[in-house]
Amino acid sequence: MDQTLPETPVTEALAEALALFALPLNDLLYRAHTVHRQNFDANRIQASTLLNIKTGGCSEDCSYCAQSVFYNTGLANEALMSVDEVRIAARAAKEAGADRFCMGAAWRSPSDRQIGRIGEMIAAVKAEGLEACATLGMLTNSQAQKLKDAGCDYYNHNLDTSKAFYGEIISTRTYQDRLDTLARVRDSGMKVCSGGILGMGESRADRAGLLTTLAGLDPQPESVPINMLVPIDGTPLAGTPLMDPIELVRTVAVARILIPAAYVRLSAGRESLDEAAQALCFFAGANSVFLGERLLTTSNRAVDTDTQMFERLGLHTG
């Protein structure tokens, strides 16, 4: 399957997405929430947990990432976790209310031997009664199939931003490399999890471009994580101002309209949002979060804090 997108339809789709972004906020929220209710229980939040199973030493130069070998962020390299460590973490995630367990490793692409180890971890996660998700970098066709055969439900591989802005952020992997990996994941039978990062200096047109590219995949992704940049000392994006929360809300709403059946996940950067901003995001169509105090190398809201917020908002997980 070739996920390369022709230019003219993308241009037309981009204009439509920008028109959505430009709507008065109340009108945009009304449209997005209507679509959301047509596809989901508007008061249910899907809960995932993300575990960094191998830290640091990545040969990519992603400008936002603490795990790149190109930047001195003070992060120590750590070897791949054991299956028992993953099993214990998965059990704790389920007890905290998660129903999906995501495993991330700082690789450009894994070796076949490493895929075998990950397969054992996936089996351990599935044995705990959780959906399994992995994000390990680029995959070959055979590696994607091995993950599927091991029981992996979702594979995450973010596009990060628009094709036009991508070169400002990453030089060691092309946009087409990312699309090719998504095609291999889809061909294997795994569900696709793909989104991006907001607040890296991109324009609204870039945010619209990211969403139209995701919406143009056939089939569309089942899960769309929307991250806000967490500026990390030592990376090129250190000191970048936090983005406007209302622009985040608009992006969530447009994602919901363009990709109506996907779980739209508030991911990295949620710790910087107050509960009013998060409530707007949930109304706009976000219906998934990461539970737990750590997301790969950045902090996240405490589980008890999220539980209390969900209770106040009348939202439920599970």
**Catalytic residue IDs:** 58, 62, 65, 102, 133, 193, 265
Separation of alpha carbons 137 and 212, rounded Å: 22
Separation of alpha carbons 92 and 102, rounded Å: 13
Cis peptide before 219 (omega within 30 of 0): yes
As a residue count, the chain comes to: 318
